[in-house]
């Protein structure tokens, strides 16, 4: 089968010791020029590559980091992963991706599996189901490097990278208000998630600043973060069945935004005439939709990059780190037809 050449093979072939070969390959000054040349050329010829696993065992590090997200088939995360990869690649780290599919159990299994020794650090965006953090706390207390991004928790003190969810939600809600909508509903993920909380706050603040009363019947949570279509469907239907039907929906998630449009289309509810729509999404396809969707876009790529830089700093730090940063990046609102100015009602 597949048997790569080792340092031993070279040593044997050249009548040297493994230590000499090792040193020759790393250009140690203790090795004569001729021996070096001999070894290096032989290694070149037989395409010698140091065994990364042996190195990992020796150096007690694997030069790989893991990222734990709920779904890579989500534009925000695939963009973030591109950012992660770009930094990791340049710094000589492998990236291992694992998906929780919004399941608490899967998340635990993945993290345990990864952490034992096979990765040097973790980049985490919490699953929608997760509201306990012992599996991270244990690791973190032992000094294992973890950086949270996007969906974070206050319960663990480490570096964090987030979008300004509050401001993003505020801006898009305000945009809806400015466009003439007054009865704005909010469709969001599990209530305990950091992003849900912040976006809800931004939404509330925008209402407050514009003297629109907050109505908690207008807030619907999808606890599976958009994984289950029926959940969104039911939520939206119950919104539309309210006595005082909303005239706009602000949705707080990629999948939610899109499936919101799908449900409205299915129910033949006209967007934006009957109900306007705007929400968080990083999909490049939203502008092609019917109607083009107004979205808040997160700087996913940059978030991935920043989080990775912080993680590598953590990994390569000599001393235990006790000062942690929380980096907040700005979002951007893209206005499209789905939130076009409200037409005066002809009753």
Residues within the interface to DNA (CB under 7 A): 6-8, 15-20, 22-23, 25-26, 30-35, 48-51, 54-55, 57-58, 60
30 binds, among DNA, a second copy, none (CB under 5 to 8 A by kind): DNA
- Quick one: which segment of 137-145, 174-182, 206-214, 324-332 binds a second copy (CB under 8 A)? 137-145
Q: What residues pair up with 65 in beta bridges, in sequence order?
A: 95, 121
Check residue 270 for interaction with a second copy (CB under 8 A).
no
Phi, psi dihedral angles at 89 (to 5 degrees): -55, -45
- To a second copy, the closest distance from the beta carbon of 206 in angstroms equals 27
- To a second copy, the closest distance from the beta carbon of 240 in angstroms equals 18
Crossing angle for the helix pair 134-141 and 104-115, to the nearest 10 degrees: 20
Is residue 80 within 8 A of residue 51, CB to CB? The reply is no
- To a second copy, the closest distance from the beta carbon of 191 in angstroms equals 26
95 binds, among DNA, a second copy, none (CB under 5 to 8 A by kind): a second copy
Q: Please, which residues have CB within 8 angstroms of residue 26's CB and are 6 or more apart in sequence?
A: none
24 vs 176, beta carbon nearer DNA:
24
Is residue 119 within 8 A of residue 96, CB to CB? The reply is yes
- Quick one: which segment of 28-36, 93-101, 175-183, 214-222 binds a second copy (CB under 8 A)? 93-101
Cα–Cα distance between 330 and 311 in angstroms, integer?
21
Half-sphere exposure of residue 307: CA atoms within 13 angstroms, side-chain side: 35
Check residue 291 for interaction with a second copy (CB under 8 A).
yes
Count CB atoms within 10 A of the CB of residue 239. Answer: 21
18 vs 131, beta carbon nearer DNA:
18
Count CB atoms within 10 A of the CB of residue 49. Answer: 10
97 binds, among DNA, a second copy, none (CB under 5 to 8 A by kind): a second copy
Is residue 146 within 8 A of residue 156, CB to CB? The reply is yes
Q: Please, which residues have CB within 8 angstroms of residue 340's CB and are 6 or more apart in sequence?
A: 179, 272, 276, 291
By CB under 8 A, name the binding residues for a second copy. Answer: 1-4, 49-54, 56-57, 62, 64, 72-73, 75, 78-79, 81-82, 85, 94-99, 112-113, 116-118, 139, 142-144, 258, 261-262, 265, 283-285, 287-292, 320
């Amino acid at each position: 089968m597949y048997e790569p050449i080792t340092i031993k093979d070279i040593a044997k072939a050249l009548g040297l010791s493994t230590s000499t070969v090792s040193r020759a390959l790393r250009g140690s000054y203790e090795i004569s020029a001729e021996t070096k040349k001999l070894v290096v050329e032989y290694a070149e010829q037989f395409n010698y590559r140091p065994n990364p696993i042996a190195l990992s065992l020796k150096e007690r590090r694997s030069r790989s980091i893991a990222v734990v997200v709920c779904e890579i088939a989500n534009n925000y995360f695939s963009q973030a992963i591109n950012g992660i990869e770009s930094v990791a690649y340049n710094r000589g780290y492998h990236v291992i991706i694992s998906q929780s599919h919004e399941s608490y159990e899967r998340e635990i299994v993945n993290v345990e599996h990864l952490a034992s020794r096979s990765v040097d650090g973790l980049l985490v965006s919490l699953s929608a189901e997760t509201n306990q953090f012992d599996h991270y706390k244990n690791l973190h207390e032992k000094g294992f490097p973890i950086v949270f991004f996007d969906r974070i928790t206050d319960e663990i003190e480490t570096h964090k990278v987030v979008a300004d969810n509050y401001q993003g939600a505020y801006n898009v809600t305000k945009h809806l208000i400015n466009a003439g909508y007054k009865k704005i509903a909010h469709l969001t993920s599990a209530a305990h998630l950091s992003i849900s909380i912040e976006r809800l706050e931004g939404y509330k603040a925008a209402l407050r600043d514009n003297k629109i009363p907050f109505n908690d019947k207008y807030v619907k949570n999808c606890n599976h973060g958009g994984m289950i279509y029926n959940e969104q469907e039911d939520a939206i239907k119950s919104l539309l069945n309210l006595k005082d039907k909303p005239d706009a929906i602000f949705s707080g998630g990629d999948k939610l935004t899109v499936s919101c449009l799908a449900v409205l289309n299915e129910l033949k509810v006209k967007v934006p005439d009957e109900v306007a729509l705007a929400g968080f999404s990083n999909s490049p396809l939203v502008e092609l939709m019917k109607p083009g969707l107004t979205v808040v876009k997160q700087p996913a790529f940059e978030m991935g990059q920043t989080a990775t830089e912080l993680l590598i700093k953590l990994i390569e730090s000599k001393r235990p780190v006790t000062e942690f940063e929380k980096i907040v990046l700005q979002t951007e609102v893209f206005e499209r037809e789905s939130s076009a100015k409200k037409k005066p009602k002809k009753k």
